[in-house]
Amino acid sequence: MFKAYFDTLANCFKIEELRGRIWFTLGLLVICRVVALIPIPGLDGSALTLAMAAMAEKQRQADEASGGGGGMGLLQMYSLFTGGALERCAIGSLGIMPYISATIILQLMTAVVPSLSKLAREEGGRTQIIKYGRYLTVIICLGQGFVMSMGWENPSSVFRGAWTDDYGKLVAEPGMWYRIQTTLMLTTGTLLLMWLGEQITERGVGNGVSLVITIGIIARVDTAFQDTYRMFQEGQHIFMGFGLLFMALAVVASVIAVTQAQRKIPVQYAQRAVGRKVYQGSSSFLPLRVNYAGVMPIIFAQAILMFPQQILGGLGRQLAPTAEGSGFLFSLGEMLTRMSDYFVYASPSYLIIQGLVILFFAYFWVATQFNETQIADDLKKYGGYIPGVRPGVSTRDFLHHAMSRLTLAGGLFLVGVATLPAILYKSFNVPFSVGSFFGGTSVLIAVGVMLDTMRQLESHLNMRHYDGFLKKGKIRSRNG
């Protein structure tokens, strides 16, 4: 079996065009990693790296009610998607996520705003929407970059007083000029990653933006191995290592199965005449994916649940009484502090809320992207029908009911994958950097991107009469 895969990889490099695309993609991905390693002038990335490593260890041992878990969870999650650029204070610290956020916002607005929906259906309208996404990316980068520069300038506010002088001075010359300079550099880094991703999509192999995210996730594998080795040094049993290995293989296999799973709705086309041409009847199928929303519900849920614990906890501390006669402020501050405890990472309430939010966004994404009314009208227009279902309204209701059940199954699977790292972290003391590779967005993105890249490679191989990754050798001639 492995020989077949090596033969297929060798066939990829036999085709001149495909070989050029592969080397082009690898070269741009190397540049993406360089962007994640070059520090911003005036910032000491080693100080932040030391602080995050030390406080991540303290966080793992701290009580969940101390309030330190949420902030570090946010930083660790963002550092995962930037490939460690955040903790190095690199130019690519914002990563490609602002561009992803802008794209998601425009996709949702296209389904809601009639003018954008009309523009998307017009010739050249999709290109205009892509331009709007670039403009929105710049706006998001300027806002996030300015906030990040302020956080680096005052790290005690981010780490809630845990920052000490032992870590060193993070910003050499604080001030407004530092903020403007850092904001512009962070925006430039994200725009550079966005441009590299578009070049990979156009001239390379695979979806460029997804590959940029995936290479950042894969770059954290060495940290996960180091934390795993340290975990067993601290007394973890060897059987737990075999259990984690088996779990990793099971999660990857289940993600691949659910990602490719689909329900094939049979469609029958009747014989019809168009002008002088007569089209014979035929049968086909309508594929309905089980995980239609992909990784989007988990991204939305994690993005929303990262901030309530910080905001409520910060307001609760700000409203704490500083003098006599502040009983109302004390009651309000205490209530906000207790509310923030419900959003502490890996707590039972957090897992329940996260699961409900993921299910909500799974149905929301399907409702905005899957138009069963248009599909039913198109089938009726071209003479197609589902056996046993009347065309028109009955077909629409049938597709809606079928997609609702598939979305429930896919949403429950996403809930299980998203909560697995938190369960490992809370119940088995598995570090966040290790548990993130057993579920959540990292596994779904990495597996999905790898499958998409393999499909594109196979399409190039099949055009030259080569087999894909499931077979080896060269397809025999049709005449031979």
Residues 322-334: tens digit of each pLDDT: 444 455 555 777 7
The per-residue pLDDT for 352 is: 92
The β-bridge partners of 277 are 274
d(CA 444, CA 418) in angstroms, rounded, equals 10
The per-residue pLDDT for 183 is: 96
d(CA 359, CA 343) in angstroms, rounded, equals 18
The residue behind tokens 């998203």 is: 418
Of residues 61 and 65, more confidence is placed in: 61
Mean pLDDT, the chain, whole residue set: 81
The per-residue pLDDT for 413 is: 93
Among 32-46, 383-397, 445-459, whose mean pLDDT is lowest?
445-459
Domain coordinates in residue numbering, the chain: 1-219, 238-438
- What would the mean pLDDT of 344-358 be, rounded to a whole number? 87
The per-residue pLDDT for 406 is: 95
At residue 62, the 3 state secondary structure works out as: coil
* Confidence grade of residue 394 (pLDDT, cut at 50, 70, 90): very high
* pLDDT tens string 66-104: 444 444 456 676 777 788 888 889 999 999 888 988 888
* pLDDT tens string 175-230: 999 999 999 999 999 999 999 999 999 999 878 888 998 898 888 888 788 877 77
The yes-or-no answer to whether 1-219 and 238-438 have a common fold is yes
- Which helix (H) or strand (E) segment holds residue 264: the answer is strand 262-269
* pLDDT tens string 221-272: 887 888 777 777 766 667 777 888 888 888 889 998 998 899 999 999 877 6
d(CA 259, CA 410) in angstroms, rounded, equals 9
CATH number of 1-219: 1.10.3370.10
| Contact indicator for 426, 351 with CB cutoff of 8 Å | no
* Amino acid, single-letter form, for residue 473: G
CA distances from 460 to 206, 396, 468 (A): 12, 37, 9
The per-residue pLDDT for 167 is: 73
| Contact indicator for 149, 183 with CB cutoff of 8 Å | yes
What is the CA angle 350-356-358, rounded to 5? Answer: 100
Of residues 9 and 138, more confidence is placed in: 138
Beta-strand ranges (E) seen in 41-191 are none
The per-residue pLDDT for 71 is: 44
d(CA 310, CA 324) in angstroms, rounded, equals 27
Per-residue pLDDT at 471 exceeds 60: no
**pTM of the entire predicted model:** 0.80
Is domain 238-438 given the CATH code 3.90.870.40 in the classification? Answer: no
The per-residue pLDDT for 429 is: 74
User: Which structure tokens are listed for 315?
Assistant: 């307001």
Per-residue pLDDT at 120 exceeds 50: yes
* pLDDT tens string 272-317: 666 667 666 678 899 999 999 888 888 778 767 877 877 777 777 7
The per-residue pLDDT for 479 is: 42
* Confidence grade of residue 34 (pLDDT, cut at 50, 70, 90): very high
- What contacts 207, CB < 8 A, 6 or more positions away? 200, 201, 449, 452, 453
- What would the mean pLDDT of 135-146 be, rounded to a whole number? 93
